[in-house]
Amino acid sequence: MLTPPNLGKKCPETIELRQKVLDGCEELIWDFFNAGGQCVIYDANNGRREQRQRVAAKFGKEGIHVVILGNHYCVWIHWSPFP
């Protein structure tokens, strides 16, 4: 069986598109929290361990607790007391 030489490699356009989608998802999460939301479940985050750690650190700095459930689910929890 032959393996294509570019299998698993991503061209610059693919990398840029993936980053754009990730940035858009994170923006939606911030919009939700800023509108009073408290919990987000993000499905199908198939990123690498380093990416998941980056997300946890980025949101953690803002008081958002991120729970990583395996490789596929991230749960963002933002606690704000009721007025």
The 10s digit of each residue's pLDDT in 65-78 is 887 776 665 666 66
Distance of CA 34 to the CA centre of its chain: 17
Gap between the Cα atoms of 70 and 61, Å rounded: 22
Distance of CA 62 to the CA centre of its chain: 15
Name the band, by pLDDT with cuts 50, 70 and 90, for residue 20: very high
**Collapsing DSSP states into helix, strand and coil, what is residue 33?**
helix
How buried is residue 25: exposed, middle or buried, by Cβ count under 10 Å (0-12/13-18/19+)? Answer: middle
How buried is residue 56: exposed, middle or buried, by Cβ count under 10 Å (0-12/13-18/19+)? Answer: middle
pLDDT at 47 over 80: no
